[in-house]
Amino acid sequence: MTYDIEWPEGKDFAFTIFDDPDWDSVENASVVYSFLMDLGLRTTKAVWPIAGDGRPRIGGATCDEPHYLKLMLHLQNQGFEIALHNVTHHTSSREQTAKGIETFFRLFGHYPYSMANHSGCQESIYWESARVSGVQRLFYNLLNLKLDGKNLGSQGHIEGSPLFWGDLCRRKIKYVRNFVLGDINTLKASPTMPYRDAARPYVNYWFVSSEGANVDSFNATLSEGNQERLTSERGACIMYTHFAKGFVVNGRLNDRFKVLMQRMSQMNGWFVPVRTLLDYILQVKGDRFITSAERNNLERRWLWHKIAHVRGRS
Ligand SMILES: [Zn+2]
């Protein structure tokens, strides 16, 4: 499987970011996004549309906060994609999830085009051990032994669970993120993406991302050498990140991040949101199911990556 794609407008490569809202605040997001906006980048910002009434393991601002919502609407207006990170920062029942998705529609005028699961939400879809198959699941469970016995696992795709919402996901959401790998060239690491998975039918299309969970791993993936390789390979990069995790300290952007992003923005890249990039790849390459050999290969590479990056996941 090759990933050789002609990018629009004579561009040499494609680059985007999917930013989860974990630890978000208005102050932090304002600093990061005015910087990206000034560079001319248009990426994807995931949100929690509603404030839950429970206690999150990892929380952050939600669209229930007027100043935060105003900022998100401004980003949307400027051409950023607003996406979903479950409907709030803790477990939601089917009813709450349905309400949150409708709230998203009311706020942003469309259902989410793309989404990523938030760790700690038990209604997450094909998450935790359900991310992987067969022998890989055995290894996953060995790596993630839950000693408290309270974790019920991911249930969004399990019909009959009070947390089930797979039918809503299939009807309303096009793309869901699963694996995160170390290569800056996400498309080279997963040339089948966006792909369908016959064993996970409640998700329409899956996409993969490149490691950047916090400022250190983001900067490492975006090194000058890796940027050069991304362009010479004519690849595509979808960075996975939490921009609230170390990118801004005392109101100031991380220097190395600034330098790397300025450099990237001056290259001949196609800088569009995740959904626009995936729609384009899908249109060029057509609708595809991942084969079990491709899937096993992807899962194994992800497990190795996970062992190397045990910290900073969410
Ligand atoms: Zn999260």
The predicted-structure confidence for 251-304, as pLDDT tens digits, reads as follows 999 999 999 999 999 999 999 999 999 999 999 999 999 999 999 999 999 988
**From the CA of 10, how far away is ligand 1's center (Å)?**
35
**From the CA of 118, how far away is ligand 1's center (Å)?**
4
**From the CA of 271, how far away is ligand 1's center (Å)?**
24
If we measure between CA atoms, which residue out of 102, 122, 80, 117 comes closest to residue 171?
A: 102
**Mean of per-residue pLDDT scores for the chain:** 93
The predicted-structure confidence for 137-192, as pLDDT tens digits, reads as follows 887 887 775 544 455 689 999 999 999 999 999 999 999 999 999 999 999 999 99
**From the CA of 130, how far away is ligand 1's center (Å)?**
17
Q: What is the pLDDT of residue 217?
A: 96
Q: How many other C-beta atoms can be found within 10 angstroms of the C-beta atom of residue 22?
A: 24
Q: What is the pLDDT of residue 152?
A: 63
**From the CA of 282, how far away is ligand 1's center (Å)?**
26
pTM over 0.75: yes
pLDDT at 246 over 80: yes
Lowest mean pLDDT among 35-44, 78-87, 222-231, 295-304: 295-304
pLDDT grade for 306, boundaries at 50, 70 and 90: confident
If you search the block for the tokens 């969410």, which residue do you land on?
314
**From the CA of 151, how far away is ligand 1's center (Å)?**
17
Q: What is the pLDDT of residue 314?
A: 46
Q: What is the pLDDT of residue 57?
A: 86
**From the CA of 256, how far away is ligand 1's center (Å)?**
24
Residues 265/41, Cβ–Cβ less than 8 Å: yes
- Provide the 8-state DSSP code for 70: H
* Percent of the residues in the chain that have a pLDDT greater than 70, as a whole number: 95
Q: What is the pLDDT of residue 202?
A: 98
**From the CA of 288, how far away is ligand 1's center (Å)?**
28
The predicted-structure confidence for 180-202, as pLDDT tens digits, reads as follows 999 999 999 999 999 999 999 99
Q: What is the pLDDT of residue 36?
A: 98
Pairwise CA distance, residues 161 & 164, whole Å: 5
**From the CA of 6, how far away is ligand 1's center (Å)?**
33
Q: What is the pLDDT of residue 145?
A: 58
If we measure between CA atoms, which residue out of 178, 172, 129 comes closest to residue 154?
A: 129
**From the CA of 4, how far away is ligand 1's center (Å)?**
32
Pairwise CA distance, residues 230 & 224, whole Å: 10
If we measure between CA atoms, which residue out of 46, 45, 43, 48 comes closest to residue 61?
A: 48
**From the CA of 266, how far away is ligand 1's center (Å)?**
30
Average pLDDT over residues 5-31: 97
Q: For residue 269, give Cα distances in angstroms to 50, 107, 150, 200, 228.
A: 35, 31, 46, 33, 11
**From the CA of 281, how far away is ligand 1's center (Å)?**
26
**From the CA of 112, how far away is ligand 1's center (Å)?**
16
Better-scored residue on pLDDT, 313 or 189: 189
**From the CA of 131, how far away is ligand 1's center (Å)?**
16
Alpha helix positions (H), 145-254:
166-172, 186-189, 215-221, 224-232
Question: What are the two backbone dihedrals, phi and then psi, of residue 83, each rounded to the nearest 5 degrees?
Answer: -125, 180
* Residue 274, CB-side half-sphere exposure with 13 Å CA sphere: 33
**From the CA of 233, how far away is ligand 1's center (Å)?**
31
**From the CA of 115, how far away is ligand 1's center (Å)?**
11
**From the CA of 79, how far away is ligand 1's center (Å)?**
23
